[in-house]
């Protein structure tokens, strides 16, 4: 699979590290747990959107765009990485932030990703919860065009078949590391939201017959809805790659760790965040990777991930948002 035929810029410090988490594994007394550190992709505190942006910004530049337009929740890691990528490539960036999370802390709209967005010079509009945010962002693009700008629209989470190429690339990178280190993993677990990460991984891993099943831990959607959404993007991505489509039974998701909803950590999320901090010195986040790890931990405790397996957690980043959840973290 050759991704060099797609326009691309370099943003990621890769390969990202792949290492065992011995203290966590011993603490849980279950399978050997490893981690791939896509929290260390390098752009403005890192995270999974950076890989997607390599292909999205590549296409934006090819089309002669001068401003990136995207959307997300107020503490969107995707928005923050997009704004930083725009700075690095001499473009402006306009972001629409949805007030998706109810009952947040006082400084939720000031600190974390919001602070960094402002430092990178984004222009920001806010929206109430529940709108079609991609439609709102496309409307903002039309306004910018009327003003003579050349906007490039990036959907929420960078999750279309262009952005998903970033996680096809991650699948290839991971497979090379697995081969170099003579490893075999039984399952890859990660937090799944706007679907680009899982769709790219499944397209890449299945496309090269890596034999590594992926389990997405939902952060928002019910299971069936998430599986169908991920598979929809898998199909578009395989079509773009020119490889055969992949069966929907290769897409698996677990919605048991969403709690009350998007951006609302529950007891399991907070336990996972504190446990990873104290055993491994690794920072998870309250919206995504904390829920992903809560799912992994619960499957170890339930025995569905058995003692003789090797489980890989893909850390998708997000620790910048910890500062927006300070009180909740200190109370836990």
Q: Which residues are catalytic?
A: 76
Contacting range for ligand PLP; rule: CB under 6 A; set: 131-139, 196-204, 246-254, 300-308: 196-204
Identified binder of ligand PLP from the candidate list 34, 108, 262, 288, rule CB under 6 A? 288
- Residue that is written with structure tokens 């802390």 in the block: 105
What distance in Å separates the CA atoms of residue 210 and residue 307, rounded to the nearest whole number?
Answer: 22
Task: Give dist(CA 195, CA 34) in Å, integer.
Answer: 22
Task: Kindly report the backbone phi and psi dihedral angles of residue 325, in degrees, each rounded to the nearest multiple of 5, phi listed first.
Answer: -125, 30
* Contact residue for ligand PLP among 30, 31, 46, 47 (CB under 6 A): 47
Pairing status of strand 67-73 against strand 92-99: parallel
Letters for 128-157 (x = contact with ligand PLP by CB under 6 A, - = none) are -----------------------------x
**CB 158, min distance to ligand PLP, A:** 7
Least gap, CB of 26 to ligand PLP (angstroms): 26
Nearer to ligand PLP, 30 or 155 (CB): 155
Binding ligand PLP (rule: CB under 6 A), the pick from 50, 71, 194, 221 is 194
The DSSP code for 193 is S
Residue 70 binding ligand PLP, by CB under 6 A: no
Does the protein bind ligand PLP through residue 197 (CB under 6 A)?
yes
Question: Could you tell me the two tokens for 323?
Answer: 């500062």
Touching ligand PLP, residues 238-267 (CB under 6 A): none
Cα atoms found within 13 Å of the Cα of residue 100, Cβ hemisphere only? 19
Q: What is the DSSP string of 203-254?
A: HHHHHTT----EEEEESSS-HHHHHHHHHHHHHHHHHHHTS----GGG-EEE
| Residue whose CB is less far from ligand PLP, 144 or 157 | 157
Overall size of the chain counted in residues: 332
Establish if 166 lies at the interface with ligand PLP (CB under 6 A): no
* Residue of the chain from 30, 166, 290, 317 that contacts ligand PLP (CB under 6 A): 317
State the DSSP H helix or E strand holding residue 119, giving kind and residue range, or none if neither: helix 113-119
Paired tokens of 234: 């898998």
Query: Among 12, 50, 75, 77, which residue interacts with ligand PLP (rule: CB under 6 A)?
Result: 77
From the CB of 38, what's the least distance to ligand PLP, in Å? 9
Q: Nearest approach, Cβ of 184 to ligand PLP (angstroms)?
A: 25
Report DSSP letters for 38-50, one per residue. GGGS-STT--THH
Number of residues interacting with ligand PLP: please give it, by CB under 6 A.
20
Chosen residue from 12, 48, 117, 221 binding ligand PLP by CB under 6 A: 48
Helix (H, G, I), strand (E, B) or coil at 123: strand
Smallest distance, ligand PLP to C-beta of residue 191, A: 4
Residue 178 CB, nearest approach to ligand PLP (Å)? 21
Burial classification of residue 123, based on how many CB atoms lie within 10 Å of its CB (0-12 exposed, 13-18 middle, 19 or more buried):
middle
- Strand-pairing partners, residue 126, are 97
| Nearest CA-CA partner of 208 in 251, 246, 182 | 246
User: Which residues here bind ligand PLP, judged by CB under 6 A?
Assistant: 47-48, 77-78, 157, 159, 191-198, 285, 288-289, 316-318
């Amino acid at each position: 699979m050759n991704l060099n035929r797609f326009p691309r810029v370099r943003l990621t410090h890769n390969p990202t590290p792949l290492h065992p988490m011995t203290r966590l594994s011993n603490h849980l007394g279950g399978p050997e747990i490893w981690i791939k550190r896509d929290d260390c992709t390098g752009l403005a505190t890192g995270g999974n959107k950076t890989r997607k942006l390599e292909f999205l910004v590549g296409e934006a530049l090819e089309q002669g765009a001068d401003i990136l337009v995207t959307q997300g929740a107020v503490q969107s890691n995707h928005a923050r990485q997009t704004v930083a990528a725009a700075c690095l490539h001499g473009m402006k960036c306009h972001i629409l932030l949805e007030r998706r999370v109810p009952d947040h802390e006082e400084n939720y709209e000031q600190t974390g990703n919001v602070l960094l967005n402002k430092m990178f010079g984004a222009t920001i509009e806010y929206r109430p919860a529940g709108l079609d945010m991609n439609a709102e962002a496309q409307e903002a693009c039309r306004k910018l065009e009327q003003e003579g700008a050349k906007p490039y629209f990036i959907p929420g989470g960078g999750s279309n078949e262009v952005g998903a190429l970033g996680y096809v690339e991650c699948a290839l990178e991971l497979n090379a590391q697995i081969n170099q280190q003579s490893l075999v993993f039984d399952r890859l677990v990660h937090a799944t939201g706007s679907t680009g990460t899982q769709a790219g991984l499944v397209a890449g891993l299945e496309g090269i017959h890596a034999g590594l099943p992926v389990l997405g831990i939902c952060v928002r959607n019910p299971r069936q809805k998430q599986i169908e959404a991920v598979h929809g993007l898998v199909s578009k991505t395989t079509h773009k790659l020119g490889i055969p489509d992949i069966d929907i039974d290769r897409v698996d998701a677990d919605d048991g760790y969403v709690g009350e909803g998007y951006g609302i950590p529950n007891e399991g999320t907070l336990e996972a965040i504190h446990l990873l901090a104290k055993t491994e010195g690794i920072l998870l986040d309250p919206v995504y990777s904390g829920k992903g790890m809560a799912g992994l931990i619960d499957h170890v405790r339930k025995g569905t991930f058995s003692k003789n397996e090797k489980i890989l957690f893909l850390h998708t980043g997000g620790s910048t948002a910890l500062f927006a959840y300070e009180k909740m973290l200190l109370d836990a």
